[in-house]
Amino acid sequence: MNDTELRAAVIAELRTIAPEVDGDELRDDRPLRRQVDLDSLDWLNFLVGLHQRLAVEIPEADYPQLATLDDLIGYLRARL
Amino acid sequence: MRDYTLPSLGADMDQGRLIEWLVQPGDPVHKGQALAVVDTSKAAIEVEIWFDGVVGELRAAPGQMIPVGAVMATIVASGEAPEPVAAAAPHSVGQAETELTERPTPRPMASASHLEVGGVRRRVSPAARKLAEERGVDLAAVSGTGPLGAVTLSDVEQAAAELAARPTPPVEAVGPAERQALVRQAIATAMSRSKREIPHYYLSQTIPMARAVDWLTAQNTGRSISERVLIAVVQLKAVARALADFPQLNGFFIDGAFQPAPTVHIGVAISLRQGGLVAPALHDVAAKDMPQLMRELSDLVARTRAASLRGSELADPTITVTNLGDQGVEAAFGIISPPQVALVGFGRIAPRPWVSEDGTVAAVPTVTASLAADHRVTDGHTGAMFLTALYDCLQRPEDL
């Protein structure tokens, strides 16, 4: 899976929680949770979805490394 | 025979539209089972029955708007002998018709009424008229088989059966835009009433959360991501435990008197993505462990946002908790949802300067908890003691 496909998968998962999200309008270098209204349960469900879709383990301690879309995609790519 | 009436599912609800029946006459039903789906402003609600029995008659049709308290169905409660409906009909018809033939005409009929059809007046017994109203039967179209063409109860029953057999288009639940407007209206009504009727007092308390956060982190290590528990659940459990010594904050103020509730069912304030707020019940919070509460909370949030809730979830909250920590506010001071008498608010958990007992200042995660309470039922003293109990509970998360 290349980065474009990975980004598409992440956006698709995000849209199951926040259907109003438009992938083309998100800034990849800005904190995701400032751009999309996600509470802590939404965030957890999003990560569970990524875990199930991509089979990647995401420990709680790693949350600070997932602030922006760029960060998230880099993190996932390293563990696929 | 017992009547199953539409329960009130919230202070702001006075009617609901029947979407569909989930049972048929003759089906056995047990306590807690959903009988029908009723649309209120908040959601399509599954209304549940609170006793065991067998379904008798369905008295409402899909699409019908039903006032709270109206009879939706009759149920033969377990232990009762079922009354055969067929046997009852001839008896009542015979009785009404005996009255009719005994009275000399043209005296005005007190017990029966007339239906004028094409210039010919026919008698309709009161039982037949009532059933026709309930079942939506147009009496003018019913042929009467009683004396002088009188319309009998069995005539109406047959017409009603024919009506029911005709396939009707499915009633759709309310669309999203309309639902959003209805939710807004329901909130407006409930919150206005609350502020008019409930004399609120407000207290707040800042609580150090290091122990709770560290304890939870340790608990979550080794759990798979789908079993991870959120700190919000720890906060809910702590509220339920703290309430054990303060029954005056957990219950209902109805008709001028406070009724304490035997269990803590926390109304969890859940925001809807398109705007709006619902606070359905997480039941019996004090008795459940954190993993179960987490599963139930997750499921409750998902169903709330899908506008699909159970009647007991809307009717049962004994207190409400609103957690706005994720939105970044320091503290949340809410408006009590009648007939409840208290609302607990939480702000953001974040590192803040904290002076410990030895006088040193350190960065410690803290949260500000607030209490809104009904001054008709409690005074600030009680509220303050409750918040102190909550503080203590959150310092011993392993005991929750």
Q: For A39, name the nearest residue in chain B, comparing CA atoms only.
A: B326
Q: Which of B62, B72, B25, B136 is nearest to B311 (CA)?
A: B72
CB contact under 8 A, B228 and A60: yes
Structure tokens at A65: 């490394």
Residue type, B373: A
Q: Domain tally for chain A?
A: 1
User: By residue range, what is the domain housing residue A22?
Assistant: 3-79
Which string of DSSP letters, residue by residue, matches B126-142?
A: HHHHHHHHHHT--GGGP
Segment B301-334, tens digit of pLDDT: 999 988 889 988 998 999 999 999 998 999 999 9
Maximum average pLDDT range among B38-52, B59-73, B85-99, B234-248: B234-248
Confidence of residue B170 (pLDDT cuts 50, 70, 90): low
pLDDT given at position A43: 93
pLDDT-based confidence at residue B82 (cuts at 50, 70, 90): low
When CB atoms are compared, the residue of B221, B225, B325 closest to A58 is B225
Asked if B220 and B229 touch (Cβ cutoff 8 Å), the reply is yes
**Arithmetic mean of pLDDT, B238-255:** 97
Q: Which of B317, B325, B33 lies closest to B190 in space, CA to CA?
A: B317
Nearest CB among A40, A52, A57 relative to B326 is that of A40
Ramachandran sector of residue B316 (left: φ over 0; alpha: ψ -120 to 50; beta: rest): alpha
Q: What is the pLDDT of residue B146?
A: 76
Who's near B346: CB < 8 A, 6+ residues apart? B232, B235, B321, B322, B323, B324, B325, B332, B367, B368, B369, B370
List chain A residues with CB under 8 Å of B226: 48, 51-52
Q: How confident is the model at residue B102 (pLDDT cuts 50, 70, 90)?
A: very low
Inter-chain residue contact A51 with B226, CB threshold 8 Å: yes
CA distance B218 to B134: 61
Q: What is the mean pLDDT of chain B?
A: 85
Strand partners, B370: B204, B345
For residue A53, give the amino acid letter. Answer: R
Query: pLDDT of B208-217, one tens digit each?
Result: 999 999 999 9
- pTM here is 0.76
Task: Give pLDDT, residue B340.
Answer: 97
| Residue A58 with chain B: CB contacts under 8 Å | 225
Query: What is the predicted pLDDT for the residue at B93?
Result: 36
For position B238, what pLDDT does the model report? 98
Cβ atoms of residues B251 and B341 within 8 Å: yes
Q: What is the CATH number of the domain that holds A47?
A: 1.10.1200.10
Q: Return the residue in A17, A39, A54 with the most chain B beta carbons within 10 A, the one to mutate for interface testing.
A: A39
Contacts of B361 (CB under 8 A, 6+ apart): B353, B354, B355
Within 10 angstroms of residue B378's Cβ, the number of other Cβ atoms is 20
B226–A48 C-beta distance less than 8 A: yes
Q: What domains can you pick out in chain B, each with its CATH number?
A: 2-77 (2.40.50.100), 104-165 (4.10.320.10), 176-399 (3.30.559.10)
Q: Euclidean distance between the first and final Cα of chain B, in Å?
A: 45
